[in-house]
């Protein structure tokens, strides 16, 4: 790891011990079990608020992603410059995600505010019989 | 990890490997980065559509079946947890194959590659069962039998995104299995032993882990959130 002046193809600096592999496996399994346990508790009791829960899921997902990339894909043991060429574009993507979700949410808010028909659709519960349209769904009845 | 680079040293003038990885491995990394952008674009469109919709079906109501268990027994998350476990497990056997390759242990590479392929096939079978089951319930592209969580009528966006994204992921798993089978055959022929290194196994391994990585996000986006 100390020198990069190599042209040979043997990656002598990379070591694949069985121990960290299994450690990573247990971490991944543990995180997944925690996620499922939280989901089950939420189903039974509704205890962790859904928004809090979603935040926890996202953090745990990122943790899992980190362990897969760092340990299984061995990126943690590569040269820092190479890590950066992969990590930086991926991290810029996070901004992209936030921007799009924000945009979607804003679009929905605007439609609910200015499109009465659209907002009303959510109040109509699914009709028991197929093809039987509730009165509110007919055009012109939205006002 | 990082080191100071002496002034005036021309790292990119050739004859050196600045990232200290083989060309093919580096290109696999960049391919996977571009592939992650494709998946990212899919998941972003899923997310923004979901944020732009008032109601959405509750995944615990949709994904609650398990093979050979009567329909009346609801087991939310159990089947998909099994699928996640299978994929993580096959990822582990893949790393063990890579590790065996580092020790030039041809027999162990064969053994772990076979296990990885079995894991991949198991995952694909699970997905095939789930798709068949959902199709049996009337879900498909353009058809969504599941109402929103609040009881209002859902759009077909839910099923469209589900089948497109899990289908695209399943296609990646399938290609991964094909690549792994090719690697297994090459290993059995002794190609890597003759070459003196098992870097091809490493590259196939990177792809396989990427498939696992994408599943982590698909699992969260479709089954948990």
- Compute the nearest-CA separation of A104 from chain B (Å): 4
Asked if residue B7 is part of any domain, the answer here is no
- With a cut of 50, say whether residue B119 has pLDDT above it: yes
CA angle B52, B54, B60 (to 5 degrees): 105
Instruction: Tell me chain A's radius of gyration from C-alpha atoms.
Output: 25
pLDDT in tens, B39-51: 999 999 999 999 9
Q: Do B220 and A61 touch (CB under 8 A)?
A: yes
**Size of chain B in residues:** 225
How many CB pairs (< 8 A) connect A and B? 175
Please state the rounded mean pLDDT for residues B4-16: 73
ipTM: 0.84
pLDDT of residue B149: 86
Structure tokens at A20: 């960290």
Instruction: Tell me chain B's radius of gyration from C-alpha atoms.
Output: 21
Q: Do A7 and B225 touch (CB under 8 A)?
A: no
Asked if residue B96 is part of any domain, the answer here is yes
Asked if residue B156 is part of any domain, the answer here is yes
Reported as a pLDDT band with limits 50, 70 and 90, residue B4 is: low
- With a cut of 90, say whether residue B118 has pLDDT above it: yes
Give the residue numbers spanning the domain of B95. 23-70+82-224
Q: Do A90 and B36 touch (CB under 8 A)?
A: yes
Asked if residue B128 is part of any domain, the answer here is yes
Could you give the CA distance from residue B11 to residue B13 in angstroms, rounded to a whole number? 6
Asked if residue B194 is part of any domain, the answer here is yes
Q: Do B95 and A72 touch (CB under 8 A)?
A: yes
pLDDT of residue B3: 61
pLDDT of residue B181: 97
- Compute the nearest-CA separation of A137 from chain B (Å): 12
pLDDT in tens, B135-146: 999 999 999 999
- Compute the nearest-CA separation of A30 from chain B (Å): 11
pLDDT of residue A19: 82
- Reported pTM: 0.85
Output the CA torsion sign for A86, A89, A95, A101: negative
Task: Choose, out of A6, A9, A18, A43, the residue to mutate when testing the contact with B (most B CBs < 10 Å).
Answer: A9
H or E element that contains B111? helix B106-136
Asked if residue B213 is part of any domain, the answer here is yes
Q: Which residues are CB-contacts of B221 (< 8 A; sequence separation ≥ 6)?
A: B43, B46, B47, B165
Reported as a pLDDT band with limits 50, 70 and 90, residue B55 is: confident
Q: Give backbone dihedrals phi and psi of B143, rounded to 5 degrees, phi first.
A: -135, 125
A26, burial (CB in 10 Å: exposed 0-12, middle 13-18, buried 19+): exposed
Q: State percent of chain A over pLDDT 70.
A: 78
Tell me, what CATH number does B56's domain have? 1.20.120.80
Could you give the CA distance from residue B37 to residue B31 in angstroms, rounded to a whole number? 10
Could you give the CA distance from residue A132 to residue A126 in angstroms, rounded to a whole number? 10
């Amino acid at each position: 790891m100390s020198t990069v002046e190599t042209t040979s193809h043997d990656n002598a600096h990379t070591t694949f011990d069985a121990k960290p592999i299994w450690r990573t496996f247990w971490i991944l399994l543990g995180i997944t079990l925690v996620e499922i346990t939280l989901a089950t508790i939420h189903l039974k009791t509704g205890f962790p608020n859904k928004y809090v829960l979603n935040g926890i899921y996202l953090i745990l997902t990122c943790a899992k992603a980190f362990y897969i990339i760092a340990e299984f894909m061995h990126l943690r043991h590569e040269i820092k410059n190479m890590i950066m060429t992969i990590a930086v574009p991926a991290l810029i993507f996070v901004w992209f995600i936030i921007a799009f979700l924000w945009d979607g949410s804003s679009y929905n808010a605007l439609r609910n505010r200015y499109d009465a028909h659209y907002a009303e659709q959510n109040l109509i519960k699914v009709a028991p019989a197929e093809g039987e349209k509730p009165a509110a769904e007919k055009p012109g009845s939205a006002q | 990890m990082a080191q100071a680079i002496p002034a005036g040293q021309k790292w990119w003038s050739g004859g050196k490997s600045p990232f200290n990885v083989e060309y093919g491995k580096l290109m696999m990394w960049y391919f996977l980065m571009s592939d992650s952008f494709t998946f990212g674009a899919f998941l972003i469109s899923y997310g923004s559509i979901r944020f732009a919709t008032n109601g959405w079906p509750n995944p615990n109501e949709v994904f609650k079946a398990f093979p050979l268990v009567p329909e009346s027994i609801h087991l939310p998350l159990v089947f998909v947890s099994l699928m996640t476990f299978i994929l993580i497990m096959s990822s582990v056997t893949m790393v063990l194959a890579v590790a065996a390759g580092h020790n030039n242990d041809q027999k162990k590479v064969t053994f772990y590659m076979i296990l990885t392929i079995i894991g991949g096939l198991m995952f694909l079978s699970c997905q095939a069962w789930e798709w068949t089951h959902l199709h049996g319930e009337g879900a498909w592209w353009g058809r969504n039998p599941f109402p929103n969580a609040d009881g209002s009528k859902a759009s077909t966006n839910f099923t469209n995104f589900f089948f497109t994204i899990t289908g695209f992921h399943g296609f990646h798993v399938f290609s991964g299995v094909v690549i792994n089978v090719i690697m297994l055959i090459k290993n059995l022929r002794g190609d890597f032993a003759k070459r003196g290194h098992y870097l091809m196994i490493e590259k196939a391994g990177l792809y396989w882990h990427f498939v696992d990585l994408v599943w982590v996000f698909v699992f969260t986006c479709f089954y948990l959130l």
